[in-house]
Amino acid sequence: MQKINRVRTEIPGLDAIIGGGIPEGDLILLSGTCGTGKTIFGVEFLYFGKEPGFYITFEEHVSEIRNQASSFGWDLKKSEEKGILKITRYDPYKLEDILTMIENNIREINATRVVIDSVPSFAIHMRDESEVRRTLSEIYNILKKNNCTSIIISDSPTETKAISKFGVEEFILDGVIILRKILERNEYKRALNVWKMRLTAHSTKFHIYEINKRGLIVYPKKVVDFRNVQFFT
């Protein structure tokens, strides 16, 4: 059997539950409701990755992303100046050619890690599900062609069991990681689940994670006991 190369996410605790990392070149959907730490996760994946990374946001301004990162002591500006990180914001309404733009940015710094934040925000101007699906599959092809290991972010709607906003994202991707808020004994906790990871014997449990002064950290041994859960979103 051919050994597969894995790319460490460098998110503390996560690589341990996915067999050492994401299979190289794969595209992973990161899904969660508002405030679950998706943007932090994406930035952490690039900042601590030992290879050039490209972050494209259709949401916050770049300065807001840098600010939030600096609250964890991460100096994004320094990585950008070194040419190993690029953060770009695009207005989804002005989007001419998202595919060319992504590919040009990847080539500019030879990025092998990419984060796209997020599907709903770039799909906002699209006519229907089939256009979202087609664009996603074209993005997928570009990322594969350039050997990028990537994360694409999607909001999951609150109070439903759906993983992603359009319900189309998860079917064309190599992996899915879900971030949730769990109400347990009247306290909200954060929990992460690996829903799908190609070629990987991953954990299927919900693992507690935290966002603290050092960033997002997963606890492989702390798992959620759903008998105590009142509600989750």
Ligand X SMILES: Nc1ncnc2c1ncn2[C@@H]1O[C@H](COP(=O)(O)OP(=O)(O)O)[C@@H](O)[C@H]1O
User: Where do contacts with Mg ion occur on this chain (CB under 5 A)?
Assistant: 38-39
Angle at 32 between CA 29 and CA 37, to 5 degrees: 100
Residue whose CB is less far from ligand X, 36 or 200: 36
Q: Residues 164-185, buried b or exposed e (16+ Cβ, 10 A)?
A: bbbebbbeebbbbbbbbbbebe
Residue whose CB is less far from ligand X, 213 or 221: 213
Of residues 41 through 70, those in contact with ligand X by CB under 6 A are: 68
Q: Where are the alpha helices (DSSP H) in the chain?
A: 14-17, 38-47, 62-70, 76-81, 98-109, 119-122, 129-145
199: contact with ligand X by CB under 6 A? no
Query: To which residue do tokens 């500006």 refer?
Result: 77
What's the closest the beta carbon of residue 9 comes to ligand X, in angstroms?
15
120: contact with ligand X by CB under 6 A? no
Residue whose CB is less far from ligand X, 39 or 105: 39
32: contact with ligand X by CB under 6 A? yes
Q: 228 in the Ramachandran plot: left (φ > 0), alpha (ψ -120 to 50) or beta?
A: alpha
Question: Residue 168 gets which letter from DSSP?
Answer: -
Among 9, 39, 57, 193, binds ligand X (CB under 6 A): 39
What's the closest the beta carbon of residue 66 comes to ligand X, in angstroms?
13
211: contact with ligand X by CB under 6 A? yes
Residue whose CB is less far from Mg ion, 68 or 144: 68
What's the closest the beta carbon of residue 124 comes to Mg ion, in angstroms?
15
Nearest to 173 by CA among 41, 28, 31: 28
Residue whose CB is less far from Mg ion, 36 or 193: 36
Rounded Cα distance between 85 and 76, Å, is 8
Instruction: Determine contact, residues 153/56, Cβ cutoff 8 Å.
Output: no
37: contact with ligand X by CB under 6 A? yes
Of residues 123 through 162, those in contact with ligand X by CB under 6 A are: none
Among 15, 18, 28, 36, binds ligand X (CB under 6 A): 36
Q: Where on the chain is the footprint of ligand X (CB under 6 A)? A: 32, 34-40, 68, 71-72, 211-213
